[in-house]
């Protein structure tokens, strides 16, 4: 019965739950789905991570390569992020060139003259793609082990010493938190695919470990007052602590192995 009601009147179905400050999957309005992080999942990559937010699964692999530095920043390496949304993860995506959503996600995601190719592949799409991507990227970057390199003086060629490896220095550890506005009034955190499609507005806040903001992205939708925005930012800061603790724990467990 409930399933039929949900199919016919999805918004009304959600309203019934939201009035009681909960969601059909049993979460409160500001509650995340269970987050699982696994680092070093791909042994052939220089760094990798698999992140699950409920059903939403994203895997990130990082490949390091030598390249000429960009002309405008000769002392810096650069990263090439790429997000793949394949037809495997949801029927919404068709094979072919990357769609708009994938391109937007790629744009969203920033020493040495290393190029880091960061490929993120979504395995199972269930909303909140950006959070999962950012989390997977950061976890994978922290997992990267670069071999030491010496430039030989006689030949001018680089010699790679695979025996000594050093981790990347990560300056910031951003964590992203997404919100969906339902019915112009209710703000729910970590929306599922269903919630995203019913939402009247979306908002993503990225914070760093000092509680500063790295990025806010709100593409149109319901307008928000500065106060409502502040509530979302506070939630994002507390979420950062949760993810940070989880990440530290996972990375530590890998090292001790």
Partner 1 sequence: MEEPGLREIGCEQSPLSRPDGSATFMQGDTSVLAGVYGPAEIKFSREIYDKSTVEVMVRPKVGLPAIQEKNQEQLIRETCESVILGTLHPRTSITIVLQVINDGGSLLACFLNAACMGMMDAGLPMRAMFCGVTCVLDSDGQLTIDPTTKEQKESRAVLTFAIESTEKRILTISSRGVYSTAELQRCIAAAQLSAQKIFHFYRDSAKRRYSKS
Q: CA 95, CA 218: separation in Å to the nearest integer?
A: 28
Q: At what angle do helices 129-143 and 226-256 cross, to 10 degrees?
A: 40
Interactions with partner 1, residue window 201-230 (CB under 8 A): 201, 203, 208, 211-226, 229-230
Find, among 228, 232, 47, the residue nearest to 140 by Cα. 47
Per the DSSP assignment, residues forming a β-bridge with 146 are 166
φ, ψ at 106 (rounded to 5°): -65, -40
**CB within 8 Å of 214: residues ≥ 6 apart:** 172, 174, 206, 207, 208
Least distance from C-beta 65 to partner 1, angstroms? 21
Minimum Å gap between C-beta 19 and partner 1 is: 24
Residue with tokens 């729910």: 188
What is the smallest separation between the CB atom of 222 and partner 1, expressed in angstroms?
7
CB atoms within 10 A of CB 227: 7
Decide if residue 86 touches partner 1 (CB under 8 A). no
Q: CB-wise, 28 or 211, nearer to partner 1? A: 211
Choosing from 38, 90, 103, 244, the residue that interacts with partner 1 (CB under 8 A) is 103
Among 39-47, 55-63, 98-106, 186-194, the segment contacting partner 1 (CB under 8 A):
98-106
DSSP 87: T
* Residue 107 or 256 with smaller CB distance to partner 1: 107
Q: Report if residue 18 touches partner 1, rule: CB under 8 A.
A: no
How far is Cα 95 from Cα 221, in angstroms, rounded to an integer? 28
State the nearest-atom distance from the C-beta of 142 to partner 1, in Å: 19
Determine if 107 is a binding residue for partner 1 (CB under 8 A).
Answer: yes
- Quote the least distance from Cβ 15 to partner 1, whole Å: 18
- List of residues contacting partner 1 (CB under 8 A): 100, 103-104, 106-108, 172, 201, 203, 208, 211-226, 229-230, 233
């Amino acid at each position: 019965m409930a399933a039929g009601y949900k199919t016919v009147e999805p918004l009304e179905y959600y309203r019934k739950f939201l009035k009681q400050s909960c969601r059909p999957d049993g979460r409160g309005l500001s509650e995340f789905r269970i987050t699982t992080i696994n680092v070093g999942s791909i042994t052939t990559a220089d760094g990798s991570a698999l992140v699950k937010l409920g059903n939403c699964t994203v895997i990130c692999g990082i490949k390091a390569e030598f390249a000429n530095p960009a002309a405008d920043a000769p002392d810096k390496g650069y990263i090439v992020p790429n997000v793949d949304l394949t037809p495997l993860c949801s029927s919404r995506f068709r094979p072919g060139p990357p769609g708009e959503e994938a391109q937007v996600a790629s744009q969203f995601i920033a020493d040495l003259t290393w190029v880091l190719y960061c490929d993120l592949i979504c395995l199972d799409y269930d909303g909140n793609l950006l959070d999962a991507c950012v989390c997977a990227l950061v976890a994978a970057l922290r997992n990267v082990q670069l071999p030491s390199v010496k430039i030989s003086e006689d030949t001018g060629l680089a010699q790679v010493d695979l025996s000594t490896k050093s981790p990347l220095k990560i300056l910031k550890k951003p964590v992203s938190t997404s919100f969906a506005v339902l019915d112009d009034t209710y703000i729910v955190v970590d929306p599922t695919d269903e919630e995203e499609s019913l939402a009247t507005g979306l908002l993503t806040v990225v914070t760093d470990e000092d509680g500063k903001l790295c990025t806010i992205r709100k593409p149109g939708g319901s307008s928000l007052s500065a106060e409502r925005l502040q509530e979302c930012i506070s939630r994002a800061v507390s979420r950062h602590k949760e993810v940070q603790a989880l990440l530290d724990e996972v990375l530590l467990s890998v090292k001790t192995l």
